[in-house]
Amino acid sequence: MNPAEIDTPVLIIGGGVAGLSAAVELSRRGLASTVVEREAAPGGRAGEFCCKAVAACARCGACRLGDLLAEAAARPEITLHTAALVTSAEQKDGLWTVELSPQPAGDDAPGPGAPLGERCSLTTGAVILAVGGQVFDPAGKSRFAHGRVEGVHSALELEAMLAMGAIGPGAMAPAKVAFIQCVGSRDAAGGRPWCSRVCCGYALRMARVIRHRLPETEVTFFHMDVQDYGRAWEEELPSLKEDIRFVRAMPGEVTAGEQGPRVVFAGPEGAPVSEGFDLVILSVGIGPPNGAGSLHELFGAAPDQDGFLAEEGPDGLFVAGAAAGPRSLNESITHAGLAASRAAARVGALLEAARG
User: What pLDDT, on a 0 to 100 scale, did the predictor assign at position 108?
Assistant: 59
What are the angstrom distances between the C-alpha of 244 and each of 178, 219, 233, 238? 10, 5, 15, 10
CATH number at 136-286: 3.50.50.60
Fold category of 3-133+288-355 in CATH: FAD/NAD(P)-binding domain (3.50.50)
pLDDT in tens, 181-224: 999 999 998 899 999 989 988 999 999 999 999 999 999 999 98
Could you tell me which of 113, 142, 104, 126 has the C-alpha nearest to residue 32? 126
Phi, psi of 125 (to 5 degrees): -85, -20
Phi, psi of 98 (to 5 degrees): -125, 130
Q: For 101-117, what is the mean pLDDT?
A: 78
User: What pLDDT, on a 0 to 100 scale, did the predictor assign at position 111?
Assistant: 67
What are the angstrom distances between the C-alpha of 11 and each of 7, 8, 53, 138, 225? 9, 7, 35, 34, 40
Element (H, E) at 126: strand 120-129
Burial class (CB in 10 A: 0-12, 13-18, 19+), 287: buried
Q: Are strands 279-284 and 152-154 parallel, antiparallel or unpaired?
A: parallel
- CA 75 to mean position of chain CA atoms: 24
Measured distance CA(17)–CA(345) in Å, rounded: 22
Measured distance CA(202)–CA(58) in Å, rounded: 10
pLDDT at 168 over 80: no
pLDDT in tens, 65-77: 999 999 999 999 9
Within 8 A by CB and 6+ apart from 30, the residues are 77
Measured distance CA(278)–CA(172) in Å, rounded: 10
User: What pLDDT, on a 0 to 100 scale, did the predictor assign at position 238?
Assistant: 80
Q: Give the 3-state secondary structure of residue 289.
A: coil
| Reported confidence tier of residue 5, pLDDT bands at 50, 70, 90 | confident
Phi, psi of 317 (to 5 degrees): -115, 130
CA atoms within 13 A on the CB side of 129: 33
* Higher pLDDT, residue 238 or 198: 198
Note the helical H segments in the chain: 17-28, 64-74, 155-163, 199-213, 233-243, 292-299, 329-355
User: What pLDDT, on a 0 to 100 scale, did the predictor assign at position 4?
Assistant: 65
Is the backbone of residue 341 left (phi > 0), alpha (psi -120 to 50) or beta? alpha
pLDDT at 281 over 90: yes
| Reported confidence tier of residue 158, pLDDT bands at 50, 70, 90 | very high
| Reported confidence tier of residue 161, pLDDT bands at 50, 70, 90 | very high
pLDDT in tens, 288-347: 998 888 898 999 998 999 999 998 889 999 999 999 999 999 999 999 999 999 999 999
Within 8 A by CB and 6+ apart from 330, the residues are 59, 61, 64, 230
* Higher pLDDT, residue 142 or 166: 142
Provide the angle, in degrees to the nearest 10, between the axes of the packed helices 64-74 and 329-355.
Answer: 30
In DSSP notation, 128-145 reads EE----EE--GGGSGGG-
Across the chain, mean pLDDT equals 91
* Domain ranges for the chain: 3-133+288-355, 136-286
In DSSP notation, 141-183 reads SGGG-TTTSTTEEEHHHHHHHHHTT-SSTTS---SEEEEEEEE
User: What pLDDT, on a 0 to 100 scale, did the predictor assign at position 225?
Assistant: 82
Q: Taking the CA atoms of 174, 179, 183 and 188 in sequence, report the sign of the dihedral they define.
A: negative
